Amino acid sequence: MSEVKKIATREAYGKALAELAATNPNVVVLDADLAKSTKTADFAKVAPDRFFDCGIAEQNMTGVAAGLAAAGKIPFASSFAVFSTGRAFEQIRNSVAYPKLNVKIAATHAGISVGEDGGSHQSIEDIALMRALPNMTVIVPADAEEARQAVLAAAEYNGPVYLRLGRLATDAVFGADYKFELGKGVLVRPGSDIVIFACGMMVGEAMKAADLLAEEGISAAVANIATIKPLDTAFIAAQAAACGAALTVEEHSIIGGLGSAVAETLAETTPVPFGRVGVEDQFGQSGSPAVLLRAYGLTAENIASRAKGVIAKKK
């Protein structure tokens, strides 16, 4: 991993929006009265005439974004993930995905690392909701650099996009030389005994798990699956076949997210011993991010342990 200070992907999102303000006059930004938290305030400072605070009304914000997209603008609509996808699901489905409008839903504060806000604010089902929608592209950046590039790529892509961003400052996985490519998986660490497919902040944790496994003589590959949909099925099948075992890691429910997407692919193409690490069919709870990540098994130590369990099934 690159030796760069920890930065939250929501921070990178705000900076990327400010960058787009100067380069793309069609980009507009909408927020649901959370601009300081979602970091859309960075855009508002440099392009106030293209920033719209829609208030605590995600459903209406999504409808406004759809209208702006129909008029040729490129709207980024932001709120917390639990509200972006939960409160406004019908509007996303019928006003954005169904007509395939060029709306970017940029949701911050996803997963249990939201911390003390508790289960009501910890979105662990948003990937499942968004990947089930036809026409929707789903992106979960691993770190700040990938988040920045993903925002720029989303602005260039013509169609609905769901960008999942985090509150917590996370490890840097990629340097400035990294090139994000929509729809492509990336091998961030080679290995031969098992491949760990991860997304979001769990990519950094998977890298740490691979270090722990290496101390025991186990060679673990780590693959970053930033684009959950469209999924790079050929890449996933090839990596699983090369290692003969696979594990997924995500800060999301194991139902319907990265784990389900990879399981579906492997079941149809490359059946190998397989496991999923994530939130196991339960809601989050209040606590510090570090305590919650340990409680739900989203740590390098648990990932390494689960990886060994999957490898044991290879025989």
pTM over cut 0.85: yes
The torsion region of residue 276 among left (phi > 0), alpha (psi -120 to 50) and beta comes to beta
3 state DSSP class of 170? strand
Q: Give the model confidence (pLDDT) of 132-162 as tens digits.
A: 999 999 999 999 999 999 999 999 999 999 9
Residue 180 domain flag: no
Q: Give the model confidence (pLDDT) of 110-135 as tens digits.
A: 999 999 999 999 999 999 999 999 99
- Whether residues 159 and 42 fall in one domain: yes
Q: Give the model confidence (pLDDT) of 2-27 as tens digits.
A: 445 799 999 999 999 999 999 999 99
Please give the pLDDT value at position 1: 44
Please give the pLDDT value at position 5: 76
- Residue 107's H or E segment, with its range, is strand 104-108
Q: Give the model confidence (pLDDT) of 61-100 as tens digits.
A: 999 999 999 999 999 999 999 999 999 999 999 999 999 9
3 state DSSP class of 14? helix
Task: Name the DSSP letter for residue 97.
Answer: I
Q: Is pLDDT above 80 for 102?
A: yes
Confidence of residue 315 (pLDDT cuts 50, 70, 90): confident
Q: Which residues, 6+ apart, have CB-to-CB distance to 50 below 8 Å?
A: 21, 27, 28, 29, 43
How many other C-beta atoms are found inside a 10 Å radius of the C-beta of residue 71?
A: 10
- Whether residues 73 and 116 fall in one domain: yes
Cα(181)–Cα(253) distance, integer angstroms:
25
Q: Give the model confidence (pLDDT) of 204-257 as tens digits.
A: 999 999 999 999 999 999 999 999 999 999 999 999 999 999 999 999 999 999
- Whether residues 120 and 195 fall in one domain: no
- Whether residues 114 and 156 fall in one domain: yes
Active site amino acids: 58
Q: Which domain covers residue 18, as residue numbers? A: 9-164
Please state, rounded to an integer, the average pLDDT across all residues of the chain: 96
Cα(263)–Cα(304) distance, integer angstroms:
19
The CATH number linked to 276 is 3.40.50.920
Number of structural domains found in the chain? 2
Cα(79)–Cα(88) distance, integer angstroms:
10
Cα(11)–Cα(5) distance, integer angstroms:
13
- Whether residues 15 and 157 fall in one domain: yes
Residue 172 domain flag: no
